[in-house]
Amino acid sequence: MVARREKVILVAGGAGFVGSHLCKKFLGQGHKVTCVDNFLTGDISNVRALLDDPNFQLLRHDICDPHKWPGPIDEIYNMACAASPSRYQSDPIHTAKTCFQGTLNLLDLAEEKNARILQSSTSEVYGDPEVSLQSEDYLGNVNICGPRACYDEGKRISETLMWEYGTHRGVETRIARIFNTYGPYMHPEDGRVVSNFVVQALQGDDITIYGTGQQTRSFCFISDLVEGLTRLMASGEKMPVNLGNPVEFTMLELAEQVIAKTGSRGSKLAYQPLPQDDPQQRRPDITRAKMILDWAPRVSLSDGLDMTVSWYRDRLIADRDAAAIAGQ
């Protein structure tokens, strides 16, 4: 049997939620990993346990800025961009720049190193969809001048750059359109719905429901997403591929499950106005992922929430203990 060659893998945004899971997976497979992060939203605690691994390198760097990369690189995963609305809207120009200039810099690097590159795009390229399910050939319904445009349109231009470099410069590009993902190592203050609900419930606070709560999302557990990303990278597919869980839940249904899983007795539902351009519905068509990657989610929302709630409970206790020690 021929031994599998050790790869050199660069993960941009590697200290973030999804990126850190990728780093751990690749190190576990015996590959060399360079984690690149500017720590605007990445968390050092996500990769602290990896720092003593001789195959792991951590570089604080913003991909919007040029950088000389010594040595070979086999694969590049571009996970670098704030993904929660509260975070990407806090600096919308940098968000758009990360999607354009950051992706451009990594594509130039991929061309220089003859590396394969995967772009983490998003279901947000579909905007507030007028069709259900959302398949890869749906062109979307995006407001290009709204508060979410820096991210939605940013990810659309990053896809265009990937396509053009693949078509005209021969770069091996892959595009993953990621739907709502959750799980351990998502920051407690991330701002997305699962982290918000779980943290609020564990602290006994009211659960914030925007609008009527009838808007829907489809929740994919992190281990399922990571498997889909690595399968896509290993495939020959250059067109975008949806990665998400097609089982759909309303925000009210999610809130009910979270309250039950956390055992919260003090949390009630607190309704707030629906933010501008907030999508009413999200449900991926994963037919192409099933056919091309032989991939489909395996973790149910119930099982995934069990693991997620357990991690957040431990994280909140650790954060409180650290704050108490710091205050002494």
- Please give the positions annotated as active site: 151
Tell me how far apart the alpha carbons of residues 244 and 73 are, in angstroms, rounded to a whole number.
Answer: 28
CA dihedral defined by 66, 67, 72, 74, rounded to 10 degrees? Answer: -50
Tokens of 61: 């760097």
Tell me how far apart the alpha carbons of residues 39 and 60 are, in angstroms, rounded to a whole number.
Answer: 7
Beta bridge partners of 269: 207
CA dihedral defined by 99, 123, 181, 163, rounded to 10 degrees? Answer: -50
H helical segments located in the chain: 17-28, 85-88, 92-97, 103-113, 149-168, 193-202, 222-234, 251-262, 287-288, 301-327
Tell me how far apart the alpha carbons of residues 326 and 328 are, in angstroms, rounded to a whole number.
Answer: 6
Q: Are strands 181-182 and 56-60 parallel, antiparallel or unpaired?
A: unpaired
Among candidate residues 224, 296, 219, the one with its CA nearest the CA of residue 254: 219
